[in-house]
């Protein structure tokens, strides 16, 4: 994902905030982790895990909330 995210309501550049953060809290609901048929969305989970790994390799602490 190379998209720069911008919170237009507060003028916050999310990519910059993540770059400067030491701890990142990520909220993921069960609908995100599963496909419409109720099975696990393994493609999403694998991509998400890689992104978390990249952040941890940069010294970030990841907190996952479901």
- pLDDT tens by residue, 3-42: 445 555 666 788 888 889 999 999 999 999 999 999 999 9
Give the tokens for residue 12.
């916050």
Residue 59 lies in a domain: yes
| Domain assignment of residue 3, yes or no | no
pLDDT confidence of residue 9: 61
In a domain, 12, yes or no: no
Using alpha carbons, select from 6, 17, 4, 1 the residue that is nearest to residue 50: 1
Per the structure, how many domains does the chain have?
1
Confidence band (pLDDT; 50, 70, 90) for 60? Answer: very high
Domain range for 26 is: 22-65
DSSP state of 60: -
pTM above the 0.85 mark? no
Residue 16 maps to a domain? no
What letter does residue 35 receive in the DSSP assignment? -
């Amino acid at each position: 994902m190379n998209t720069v995210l911008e919170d237009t309501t507060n003028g916050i550049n999310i990519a910059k905030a993540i770059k400067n953060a030491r701890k990142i809290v990520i909220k993921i609901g069960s609908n995100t982790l599963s496909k419409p048929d109720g099975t696990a969305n393994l493609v999403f989970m694998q991509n998400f895990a890689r992104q978390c790994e990249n952040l941890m390799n940069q010294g970030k602490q990841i907190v996952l909330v479901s």
